[in-house]
Amino acid sequence: MNNVAKGEELLKEISSKISQVTPIVIGELVDKKTRVWCPYCKMYHFHGIEPDGTIGIGHRTAHCTIINENPFNESGYIIITQEIAQELHKINKWKHRGF
């Protein structure tokens, strides 16, 4: 499945489950890795990329070393691209909190 199809599938899943507790973060491609910002430890964490070299979107386990008061460690998070976030904004399903 290419990343566009995977993104569309994930968009449908996120749209239908937007009120659930798994946090959503925006990933960006940096040095052949998917980078996400952690609002708890104030650092970037890195995850793998797709075989075609695009951002690894979907659910991931948190890499944060801050144990207490960090819900990411319990639930992980869903990585989406900026493009998916913009689509969610268009259909008014998600408001990024500016982490």
- pLDDT tens column, 8-17: 676 566 655 5
Q: Rounded to whole angstroms, how far apart are CA atoms 79 and 44?
A: 13
57 part of a folded domain: yes
Considering the chain, what is the average pLDDT of its residues?
Answer: 75
User: Is 75 within a domain?
Assistant: yes
Alpha carbon separation from 2 to 44, 58, 72 (Å, rounded)? 26, 13, 27
- The burial of 42, by beta-carbon neighbours within 10 Å (0-12 exposed, 13-18 middle, 19 or more buried), is given as exposed
Query: Total domain count for the chain?
Result: 1
Examine residue 48 and state whether it is found in any structural domain, yes or no. Answer: yes
Residue 88: CA count within 13 A, CB half-sphere: 25
pLDDT in tens, 33-52: 889 988 888 889 999 888 88
